[in-house]
């Protein structure tokens, strides 16, 4: 039975699907650097939404949760399916479509070192797509800093909206976002002009990373919105013979339209002229599995997005202490 068929039976069975267990006979984690992702399609209020499979730990049937006093309205409560405390979030409430009824499924995720279950009505299946085929939402769907959609997939005559789960969680609890106070804890620092290239599609996070690095003393920063834009910039600098004055370190997210961070890392590290440029993967997806993928591609460092202080320390090691 294929994974899509297996998922299709979840609604009728008290079934758990583990996306990271040893017993799962699927190719759910794609080969390194192919610029593809797998998106789980699910339903809410009759609409189709998506989540990157790399964020998912498991899918479980709905179970009762314990309400948390004075919690955010979108937090249904907490539960412990095994030995891990998990916060359950009513995704329907987050999308301002009312409140979910008991029943349905929990999509249990792990990103930014958090275990969170999102309550959905139905899981449809998994689609393998290229980052190039993901449509960036326009201003009518998602304003630069307020929208919670990162992209749209068109499958046949259906549109699947990929939600920004990191932003959903940060909106509920801002403490789960970048920990800007970590920069202050680094103390007084000298300014330097080491050129750093940043690839990050979130306008808000892109700005926060730049602001944090400037505060840490790094002033020569180039911002790009995805891996393809970053790669084109590198190629243009090389063509003009001034690569070293524009790129001595690359910081990249993993999830980005057109070209993801793993593909960007592979292109850099497979190139004889570029492979010595340090690449730091800074992503909410950095877990044990994704860390192995990044290492195989040659990434010099990999950090989870809340760790902005550690990001600065790693850059210090790579560009100042060499």
Beta strands in 196-300 (DSSP E): 196-199, 221-224, 249-252, 279-282
Same domain, 164 and 184: no
Tell me how many domains the chain contains: 2
115 and 158 share one domain: yes
Give the domain range for residue 247. Answer: 178-320
Same domain, 30 and 113: yes
CA distance 230 to 256: 11
**Residues 203-212: tens digit of each pLDDT:** 778 888 998 9
Residue 200 and residue 166 share a domain: no
- Are 136 and 208 in a shared domain? no
Q: Return the CATH number at 311.
A: 3.40.50.2300
240: left (phi over 0), alpha (psi -120 to 50) or beta: alpha
Strand partners for 149: 163
Mean pLDDT value of segment 36-46: 92
Q: Which of 143, 175, 207 is the last residue of a domain?
A: 175
If 0-12 CB within 10 Å is exposed, 13-18 middle and 19+ buried, where does residue 161 land?
A: buried
141 has pLDDT over 50: yes
Identify the domain boundary among 153, 175, 197: 175
Q: Could you tell me the pTM of the whole model?
A: 0.81
Tokens of 266: 């592979």
Confidence of residue 26 (pLDDT cuts 50, 70, 90): very low
Please indicate, yes or no, whether residues 189 and 230 belong to a single structural domain of this protein: yes
138 pLDDT band, cuts 50/70/90, is low
Torsion sign across C-alpha atoms 188, 194, 195, 199: negative
Do 256 and 292 lie in a common domain? yes
Assess whether 51 and 31 both reside in one domain.
yes
End residue of a domain, out of 160, 175, 190:
175
Can you tell me whether residue 64 is helix, strand or coil?
coil
Q: Is residue 157 located within the same domain as residue 41?
A: yes
């Amino acid at each position: 039975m294929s994974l899509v068929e297996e998922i299709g039976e979840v609604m009728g069975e008290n079934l758990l699907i583990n996306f990271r267990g040893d017993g799962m006979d699927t190719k759910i984690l794609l080969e390194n650097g192919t610029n593809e992702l797998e998106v789980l399609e699910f339903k809410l209020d009759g609409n189709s939404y998506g989540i990157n499979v790399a964020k998912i730990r498991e899918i479980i049937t709905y179970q009762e949760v314990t309400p948390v006093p004075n919690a955010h309205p979108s937090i249904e409560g907490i539960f412990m399916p095994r030995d891990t405390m998990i916060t359950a979030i009513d995704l329907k409430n987050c999308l301002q479509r009312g409140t979910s009824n008991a029943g349905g499924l929990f999509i249990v995720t792990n990103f930014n070192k958090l275990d969170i279950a999102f309550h959905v009505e139905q899981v449809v299946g998994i689609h393998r797509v290229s980052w190039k085929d993901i449509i960036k939402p326009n201003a009518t769907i998602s304003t630069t800093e307020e929208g919670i959609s990162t992209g749209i997939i068109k499958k046949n005559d259906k549109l699947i909206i990929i939600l920004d789960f990191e932003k959903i969680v940060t909106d509920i609890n801002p403490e789960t976002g970048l920990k800007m106070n970590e920069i202050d804890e680094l103390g007084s620092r000298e300014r330097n002009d080491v050129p750093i290239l940043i690839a990050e599609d979130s306008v808000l996070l892109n700005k926060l990373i730049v602001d944090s690095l400037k505060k840490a003393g790094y002033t020569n920063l180039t911002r790009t919105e995805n891996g393809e834009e970053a790669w084109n910039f590198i190629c243009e600098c090389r063509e003009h013979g001034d690569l070293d004055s524009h790129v001595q370190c690359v910081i990249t997210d993993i999830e980005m339209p057109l070209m993801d961070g793993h593909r960007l890392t592979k292109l850099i590290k497979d190139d004889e002229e570029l492979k010595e440029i340090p690449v730091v993967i800074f992503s909410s997806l950095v877990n044990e599995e994704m860390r192995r993928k990044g290492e195989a591609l040659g990434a010099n460092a990999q950090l989870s997005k809340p760790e902005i202080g550690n990001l600065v320390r790693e850059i210090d090691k790579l560009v100042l202490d060499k």
